A and B are shown apart, each in its own frame.
Chain A
Amino acid sequence: MSDDLHTVSGAYALNAVEPDEAREFERHMSGCQACRDEVRELRATAAAMGAAEAEAPPAALKARVLQAAARQPQLPPVVTEVAPGKRRRRLAILVAAAAAVVAVVVGVVTTEVQHGSQLAQPVAAVFHAPDSQTVRVRTSNGGTLTVAVSHRLHEMAVDTHRLPPLPTAQVYQLWEMAGGHARSAGLVDNPAAGQAMPLPPRSTRVAITIEPAGGSVQPTTQPIVVLRPSQV
């Protein structure tokens, strides 16, 4: 590693590097975890310095900003195309939170349920339904999630045993999201058992967030994964 290049991290965090050198440093960072960590920390430091300049904005500005935003669509979460499944359909899995890194479908799974004995009976029923379709997706916190949909049973189920374990103060919570609103679809009390739920309407997405133990009324963190069950 070029020490010279590495030391540009401070200037880079201050957005004070000329474009060519910035691109060079970004290429270097892509293979340098220590550099990425350092830039992240120094950016937070610069942000704290900027935030300390706080000054009350003119009161009329808020209405202008909100009106402008109301006329703007939001960018969709990152959409990942999925390899053809057993029905040879292309599946689109919608994944919120963050670019590029999230929701790579690892594979469409037909023999996934080897540990099936631990799945709760309603969950196993969906996975074993004759018309069951199953996909596996990566979650943004480093786990994988297997999702099964049975239109015949009108049920959907998630196998959560490959999600990273949480401290006891936290729990995975399922959400149904539609029209900009989120509704709790239950807590994953036992990740090994998974969770089943009625198949949501077509326009609904299902998300999982990490919440304080006992769950939340509304999501308080970015989803680790967002699914569109109608496309499973």
Chain B
Amino acid sequence: MTSNPQLRLVQGEGDDIDGLLARVALGDSAAFGRLYDEVAGSVYGLARRVVRDPQRAEDVVQEVFLEIWRKAPRFDRRLGKAKTWIMTITHRRAVDAVRRNEAEKRHAEETTADDPIQQNPEDAMILAEEHVAVRDCLETLTELQLESVQLAYFNGYTYPQVATLLDRPLATIKTRMRDGLIRLRDCLQGAS
């Protein structure tokens, strides 16, 4: 669909994705292909960030889209936007893949939130205005909020694990995750 993978502005994608998912729920496989085009970049990018290994990220993407296909008839739009539903599935599948393999040694010290996001310059980036807004808004979080949120979300740690890792009380980390997300939410609402 995109002949120029370097830069693509996605506009009003939310409505579009909800409409496509409604058609997927009716068994429309063409709509499913278009839905893939719309969200595969976000699904793959998040899977890649969480599981790291490109091959395993592809496996996660495949699991995610199968789940979308199978469960679309039961998607409840009153519980949120289709894109949120899809990203929630992606995150759960990616974290499950990481947690399944606890034996795999993850080096937390190499993957703290302070690390710059590793991007292969050869990789085509999909840029959307809202993604820029997210990155700007993440900068408004305190260091501890950002670390707590990102270690949980991108590294798949539970909040007790994050507390251990950062050597902080459980209640502190739990609270920082909540007020960090709330600050991010409020900032994004202001940005839109």
Contact = CB atoms under 8 A, between A and B. Distances in A.
Interface string B74-99: 11111111011011101110010000
B123 A56 contact: yes
A76 B73 contact: yes
B169 interface: no
A45 B188 contact: yes
Contact of A54 (B37, B78, B128): B128
B171 A57 contact: no
Nearest to A45: B185
Contact of B70 (A11, A74, A177, A179): A74
Nearest to A56: B124
A62 B71 CA distance: 19
Contacts of A181: 26, 28
Nearest to A182: B26
B174 interface: yes
Contacts of B177: 10-11, 14, 16
B40 A51 contact: no
Contacts, number: 247
Contact of A55 (B19, B92, B125, B179): B125
Contacts of A220: 18-19, 22
Nearest to B161: A16
The 6 closest A-B pairs by CB, nearest first: A98-B76, A10-B178, A180-B27, A47-B87, A57-B44, A16-B152
B176 to A, nearest CB: 8
6 contacts: A14-B152, A15-B152, A18-B160, A52-B130, A57-B40, A66-B32
Contacts of B128: 54
A17 B84 contact: no
Interface in B92-111: 92, 95
Contacts of B49: 50, 53
A222 interface: yes
Given A16-B157, A55-B48, A97 B75 contact: yes
Contacts of B66: 65, 68-69, 72
Contacts of B88: 15, 43, 46-47
Nearest to B28: A180
B184 A65 contact: no
Nearest to A47: B87
A76 B25 CA distance: 9
Contact of B74 (A73, A78, A177): A78
Contacts of B140: none
Interface in B166-190: 171, 173-175, 177-182, 184-185, 188
Contacts of B32: 66, 69
A77 interface: yes
B188 A48 contact: yes
B162 to A, nearest CB: 7
Contacts of A73: 70
A62 B33 contact: yes
Contacts of A17: 158-159
A76 B26 CA distance: 10
Interface string A1-45: 000100111110111111000000000000000000000111111
Give the one of A48, A96, A141 with max B CB within 10 A.
A48
Contact of A222 (B54, B61, B77, B173): B77
A48 B127 CA distance: 13
A209 B21 CA distance: 14
A140 interface: yes
Contacts of B134: 48-49, 51-52
Given A50-B90, A50-B153, A75 B73 contact: yes
